[in-house]
Amino acid sequence: MHTTIIITFGLILLALMLYIGERVGFSRQTLAYSFAALWLALTVINGAVGVVHAGQSVGSEIAVGSAVFGVPMAAMVLFMVLSAES
Residuewise pLDDT in 10s, the chain (86 residues)? 999 999 999 999 999 999 999 999 999 999 999 999 999 999 999 999 999 999 999 999 999 999 999 999 999 999 999 988 76
Helix %, strand %, coil % of the chain (to 5): 90, 0, 10
Question: Which residue range forms the structural domain that includes residue 38?
Answer: 2-85
The whole-angstrom separation of Cα 68 and Cα 74 is 11
The number of domains in the chain is 1
C-alpha–C-alpha distance, residues 53 and 24, integer Å: 38
pTM listed for this prediction? 0.91
